[in-house]
Amino acid sequence: MGLYLIYNDKKVEVVIVDVSAGQKETESSGDFKFVKRKELLLCYSESVGGNPIALPDDRGEAVDVMSKALQHFIKKAHADGVLAGAIGLGGSGGTSLLSSAFRSLPVGVPKLIVSTVASGQTEPYVGTSDLVLFPSIVDICGINSVSRVVLSNAGAAFSGMVIGKLEKFQESCNEGKKCTVGITMFGVTTPCVNVVNERLKKEGYETLIFHATGVGGKTMESLVREGYIQGVLDITTTEVADYVVGGVMACDSSRFDVIIEKKIPLVLSVGALDMVNFGAKDTIPSHFQQRKIHIHNAQVSLMRTTVDENKKFAAFIADKLNKSSSKIVVCLPQKGVSALDASEKPFYDPEATGTLLNELQRLIQINEDRQVKTYPYHINDPEFAKALVDSFMEICSKNPTDSSLPQVASCESSQDLQKGHDYNVSSSSSGTLTYSPSNFPDARPETLQRTQGILQQLRDQISKGLPIVGAGAGTGISAKFEEAGGVDLIVLYNSGRFRMAGRGSLAGLLPFADANAIVLEMVNEVLPVSCGKGSACSSWSMWN
């Protein structure tokens, strides 16, 4: 079943929708408002202008039909302005059915699924959305001592999302109507992106940074499609290498298409096209085992790209850009395309990198709006970063031409969240692991000092009994995410366990090192947080 919260004048009504794909149909659900499956199918059939749709006998086909019907239902509810959020539960089939529909809702609309597959390969379910998957721990076969706790926590978490949206969220994603710029980054292009990001902010732009991990590029382009991003600095196009060669962080054949279709300003470079990503060394395909391999960490192996492969990358990119009719600048760094592609570094190969740059210059058809520029710098040289921003400024005005930009929710301060509410939240105690920031001798002293100060603020919040939601880059949790990066939302439940979710980057909220150190320390200490019943979970303290 899907469970939906529909609001009107700040009153919340629970509506249960039967989305079962079996032959047996549910007729009612206690005292809750109930939408029968046949009503859902009838509404869907009318929308497509056909005869009433019967549910197929084949389960796979039935799941597909119900997912489309549900998608139509919730999109209409959202368009009518009566949908506050959507929550559901299921196994692999139910998660597939629900997630396809939930992903159709815009960013910012609360959407959560309690799922038996939440801890597995979740990209097919989440895609580029902000859908939250909540692990069910046990199979969903009725209520027991474990499922009761899990479902209660899921309901409390979801109610917190909805309460926050209804009461204290302002529908504004473009504070001061800033132009929002999407930027792609990898660990090996971070110095470049940091300089670009800082300069753009000084110029009055809002920046969204995406780790170029396959999903990162898709997420950025989905936000371009929805209108959230009005310009792109595609600095790190490494996903093309994985797509062409067969790595694990690949884009798909549609890369760059939506940017070109939307005709937004684009500055493109060739960051990290010197490498293809694989998992642990023993996962590299046998026919690549004799290639130049760099072990980034235990979970990530990098393979140097060849001259022939770089020709293919250039052809892929040029073919896309030659179809554009908007302003595009391609900026090429002659002294290396990643931190590993530099003198005395593992992937330094002037022939391969030179081939990439030469082929792009040869294949891209230059005109008034489509330019190719070369610079005698390494990609991580501050001068190259300056050139990227200068090129962007030349082709883009920071004032958006369309004032009807889409809106996502932004939260008011934690103090405002607490006004007018008597939250009954108690604190609990928990053991502390035996290491702290002082046990990281390689950390910079100023980072340790800032970390200690912020951790003390967190402890003060705990002493007041307030739940805490923290965010940090993936590297702070596990080396596995060193390249994937992105935001990990660390939610600490009564048990002291934590879950991770999120998209985007913390760039602009905290220095990367500080975010990592803080979240790592939060996990190290297993911060003692407990939450009372009902709406207590909505009393969050957001630490950015």
CA dist 424 and 537 (Å) reads 10
Domain 2-171 CATH (choose: 3.30.1330.60, 3.40.50.12020, 3.40.630.30, 1.10.287.3510) = 3.40.50.12020
Global pTM value = 0.63
The residue extents of the domains of the chain are 2-171, 175-395, 417-543
pLDDT at 244 over 90: yes
**Strand 11-17 vs strand 2-8: parallel, antiparallel, or unpaired?**
antiparallel
* Per-residue pLDDT, 422: 35
Place of tokens 């402890």: 459
Paired with 293 in beta bridges are 303
pLDDT band at residue 458, thresholds of 50, 70 and 90? low
Q: Highest mean pLDDT: which of 156-160, 422-426, 533-537? A: 156-160
According to DSSP H, which parts of 364-444 are helical?
382-395, 414-418
pLDDT score of 20 more than 80:
yes
Is the pLDDT reported for residue 229 higher than 90? yes
Sheet bearing 487-492, strands edge to edge: 498-499, 487-492, 468-473, 541-543
Nearest to 402 by CA among 183, 182, 261, 227: 227
Is the distance from CB of 85 to CB of 107 less than 8 angstroms? Answer: no
Asked whether residue 18 carries a pLDDT value surpassing 60, the answer given is yes
295 token code pair: 């072990």
DSSP per-residue letters across 76-116: HHHHTT-EEEEEEEESHHHHHHHHHHHTTSPTTS-EEEEET
Average pLDDT of the residues in 338-353: 97
* Token pair recorded at residue 157: 């978490």
For the stretch 179-204, pLDDT in tens is 899 999 999 999 999 999 999 999 99
Q: How many CB atoms lie within 10 A of CB 86?
A: 28
**Type of residue numbered 375:** Y
Residue bearing tokens 């330094």: 348
Arithmetic mean of pLDDT, 414-430: 34
pLDDT digits (tens, 9 = 90+) for 84-108: 899 999 888 889 999 999 998 988 8
The residues, any chain, with a CB within 8 Å of residue 7's CB and separated by 6 or more, are 13, 82, 84, 162, 166
- Strands 111-115 and 83-90: what pairing? parallel
Tell me, yes or no, if the two domains 2-171 and 175-395 fold the same way.
yes
pLDDT of 82 over the 60 cut: yes
Rounded to whole angstroms, what are the CA distances from 249 to 215, 216, 277?
8, 9, 6
State the pLDDT confidence band at 133, using cuts at 50, 70 and 90.
very high
Q: Which one has a higher pLDDT value, 47 or 5?
A: 47
At residue 172, the pLDDT reads 47
Please tell me which of 21-30, 49-58, 103-112, 343-352 the model is most confident about, judged by mean pLDDT: 343-352
State the pLDDT at residue 489: 41
Cβ pair 529, 430 in contact under 8 A: no
- List of residues 6+ apart from 511 with CB closer than 8 A: 447
Taken as a whole, the chain contains a residue count of 544
Q: Which CATH fold would you assign to the domain 175-395?
A: Rossmann fold (3.40.50)
For residue 164, name the pLDDT band (cuts at 50, 70, 90): confident
pLDDT at 174 over 70: no
pLDDT score recorded for residue 11:
64
